[in-house]
Amino acid sequence: MFKIYRDLYRHRQSVMLMVRRDTLLRIKGTLLGPLWLLAQPLFLLLVYSFVFSGILKISFRPDGGSGDFALYLFAALMPFSALQDGLQQASSSLSNNRDLLLKTQMPAIVFPAIAAFGTLIQEVLGLVILVFAAWIMGYPPGKTLILLPALIALRLLLTFSLAPLVAILSVFIKDVGQVLPMIMMALFFTTPIIYPVEMIPQSFRPLIEGNPLTWLVEAYRSVILEQSWPVDNLLIVGLSAMIIMIVTGALFSRLQHRAKDFL
């Protein structure tokens, strides 16, 4: 099982080059070029602020100020969207790179890894916009921001731990590509993204608290908006990601050679 991760480490430069290539392909030929990477999260933040704060006057906290809901929503949406995007890209990563997989010595684990790591740039740019917007709207950055890189790394680890599972299952079960959006929608509503965790009835708490994403999005909010130190959240997300990575790694290692017959 650990061999696939050693193979991935040996091909780390190829992963970085292919992530860079995929990012450039997304903006190649567009009018704004690299500015699209900034424009998309900025547009989302403006829309959320206009709808939830300007029109609906919704606040995430009783003492929340103007724009409170939009900021809390955006802080949770950034890591969730990055994870969702990574898993969706991973679901087709092996079939889209069939020729490379069959005709070269490139290990299969490289391709879901590229899908997972390819989400990093967009998330970082979105978070830069969020921190700046939060500062303007009355949430000045505090010392807790030093934890933000650790949170991004944990989000990346969680995405990478799930990506090989989605990738390998998609080869054997074509329906995975159709089912995945529904699973992500279920995850979206069972993660406190559009509602505060305090609103969850006690009977549903085990379901919500058993979801590592709950701890992850709450940690993003704590670090960026509340200036608190979510140490427990970091430990829970990190431990969950490591357990998932071991399980999915073992499964991927067993199935990767058979997968070539199905591509």
Write down the pLDDT at residue 35.
77
Domain ranges of the chain: 1-260
CA proximity to 89, closest of 119, 121, 55, 66:
119
What's CA 152's distance to the chain center, in Å?
9
Per-residue pLDDT, 64: 66
pLDDT of residue 53: 72
Q: What is the DSSP letter of 191?
A: T
pLDDT score for 69: 84
Q: Is the dihedral of CA 69, 44, 219, 148 positive or negative?
A: negative
Asked if 46 contacts 142 with a C-beta cutoff of 8 angstroms, the reply is no
pLDDT of residue 50: 81
Please tell me the predicted confidence (pLDDT) of residue 199.
84
The token pair at 218 is 């709450």
**93, two tokens:** 């990563």
Query: 9-35: buried (b, 16+ CB within 10 Å) or exposed (e) per residue?
Result: eebeebbeebbeeebeeeeeeeeeeee
pLDDT for the residue numbered 66: 59
User: Which pLDDT score, from 0 to 100, does residue 70 have?
Assistant: 86
At residue 65, the pLDDT reads: 63
Q: Which residues of the chain have pLDDT under 70?
A: 1, 64-66
Distance CA 75, CA 78 (A): 6
